[in-house]
Amino acid sequence: MYRYLLFIWLLAAFSFTAAAQSPDTSAAKLKSKTDSIKVKKTDTAVSATPVVKKEKEKVYHPDTLHSPHTAIMHSIIIPGWGQIYNHSYWKVPVIYGALGALGYYIVWNNTNYLQVLNVSLFREHGTVPAVGSKYYTLYQTYLNTDVTQLYNATDYYRRNRDLCILGVFVAWGVNVIDAYIDAKFMNSYTVDNNLSMQVTPVLMNQQMFAQNYSSSYIPGLKITFTF
């Protein structure tokens, strides 16, 4: 009787020990499921993020020491000095070419004005300049010219002389304005280092009055600036 009880007790103890040593598969399954969810979410987030290519940063070269006021004062004192200050050296010959041409025509028109004026005065007073004097040859040249024409010629040369004098002041003013604009909008602000220029040959259509029978197109150059 005791043997059977001992045998049953040992069998029950053995079964309980075996059940205690069996692995808990539910916890492992839950952990595995959690890990797979985390990995799946991480992979999805990484793949959804776009890859942005980093562009090369632009480099600017500011010129904060450039003064428009200085450029104006230089151009007022001496024409072209403000352009030299702005490093626009090619404009200096243009300025002095315009001023030189205006100065030449001022002298030319004033000389003709004085000559015709004196001849008209001799004619008006009925006198003749002395032989060999400054106006004798000129008086003989205009001897058969009507006095009214002499007066018109006098007004013509005087008007052109005055217009050329006014042109000098205009050219001087344009020189000052150009120096200010160049200093204010070209040198005071930053300049991108990616500025480039491209020159390409093109065919341009001529105007109707300039077309000939051979071709209505003329060769030309196209200049493109890239900022």
Each domain of the chain, given as residue ranges in start order, spans 68-191
Residue 153 near residue 141, CB atoms below 8 Å: no
For residue 79, what are the contacts with CB-CB under 8 A and spacing of at least 6? Answer: 95, 96, 99, 171, 172, 175
CA pair distance 172, 167, nearest whole angstrom: 8
pTM of the model: 0.52
| pLDDT tens digits for range 102-148 | 999 999 999 999 988 888 887 777 777 777 777 777 777 777 777 78
Q: What does the pLDDT read at residue 39?
A: 47
- With H, G, I as helix, E, B as strand and everything else as coil, classify residue 134: coil
Helix (H) or strand (E) holding 226: strand 217-226
pLDDT under 70: residue ranges of the chain? 1-65, 187-197, 206-217, 225-227
Q: Residue written as tokens 């009925």?
A: 126
Question: Facing residues of 155 across strands?
Answer: none
